[in-house]
Amino acid sequence: MSGGRLKTVVPYLYILPAMLFVVLIIVLPAISILFSGFLTSKAQQQVWHGLGNYVMIFKDNLFWISIVNNLRLFLSVPVMTVISVLIAAILFEKIAGWTFYQSIIFTPYILAIPVVGIVFSYLLQYRGVVNTILTAAGLNWAVMDWLGSPKIAIWSMIAVVIWKQFGFGVVLFLARLSSVSLSLFEAAIIDGANWWQRLLNVTIPQLAMVIEFYITVNLINMLSWVFDFVFVMTGGGPVNSTYVLEYYIYQKTFISSLDYLGAAGGVIVLIVAALLIALESSLRKRLEQME
């Protein structure tokens, strides 16, 4: 092999182990799930079922409950984004103790989800810490069955997800702001811009691409990352009010032993995640063109 060809091949040899890992761990299982979504079991044998699994899923009321709850979880993303941007902008002003505050804010993000879920399960019980404090403060009107009420449980879980996740956004936005030229902010101050005007006209435009990335990642997280919260905090209840797609797939696959329905549900999640990634790529290209 000539020296020129060797130089061409060597970089691919370096990434070959990583490529093999991706193929074995991600690509092949994804193909297997895609194929399984079109199969069913008859007389203990796999047979082709076409779109039958998907028809059954779309007729299942529990599936639509899961979809609605995932859409509700999507509502947490703009809330997390706004909170993260505001706190990052405040900490960027280098207020006293800002590094300490940054560490405290980021700590929930690195905690294990089961730990967070168990802790908040105790805090939010009807006779838990939160209601005890509200009662002691004379706020009996605010006492609720946070995880036991079908109308409130999903929103309580969303609040916990926001508490855990927004710290990542704060750190991400601070990292971006640290690379922005201070002359932009100094020029805005000289022009008489107040803090809110600097936020809207300097900070947010400079964070645009990072905000877009953060929103896309969290939308995918709300679609395929909240299983642990549901499993630990509510188990899908009360009255199936906190079912999400992940938990629906888990129930079909491991509890009801309907593997092929679970595979079909997994394909649906994969398709939606792929669409979100494609949307993120399109938005990124537009933002790059605008810059």
pLDDT at 1 (0 to 100): 53
28 within a domain of the structure (yes/no): no
Structural domain boundaries enclosing 240: 53-290
pTM: 0.88
Query: Which residue, among 254, 245, 256, 261, has the nearest Cα to 54 in the 3D structure?
Result: 261
pLDDT at 6 (0 to 100): 66
Number of structural domains found in the chain? 1
Indicate the burial class of 127 (C-beta count within 10 angstroms; 0-12, 13-18, 19 or more): exposed
Measure the CA–CA gap between 29 and 46, rounded to whole angstroms.
17
Measure the CA–CA gap between 110 and 26, rounded to whole angstroms.
24
241 within a domain of the structure (yes/no): yes
108 within a domain of the structure (yes/no): yes
pLDDT at 196 (0 to 100): 93
Measure the CA–CA gap between 19 and 28, rounded to whole angstroms.
12
Each residue's pLDDT tens digit in the chain (291 positions)? Answer: 555 676 777 788 888 888 898 888 888 888 888 888 888 877 677 888 888 889 999 999 999 999 999 999 999 999 999 999 999 999 998 888 888 898 899 999 999 999 999 999 999 999 889 999 999 999 899 899 999 999 999 999 999 999 999 999 999 999 999 998 889 888 998 988 899 999 999 999 999 989 988 998 999 899 888 999 999 999 999 999 999 999 999 999 899 888 888 999 999 998 888 888 888 788 778 767 766
pLDDT at 291 (0 to 100): 61
pLDDT at 214 (0 to 100): 93
DSSP state, 192? T
156 within a domain of the structure (yes/no): yes
Give the SS3 label for residue 194: coil
Query: Which residue, among 109, 78, 99, 285, has the nearest Cα to 174 in the 3D structure?
Result: 99
pLDDT at 215 (0 to 100): 92
178 within a domain of the structure (yes/no): yes
Gyration radius from the chain CA atoms? 24
- The CATH number for 272's domain is 1.10.3720.10
Query: Which residue, among 252, 258, 271, 268, has the nearest Cα to 62 in the 3D structure?
Result: 252
Measure the CA–CA gap between 40 and 48, rounded to whole angstroms.
6
Give the SS3 label for residue 81: helix
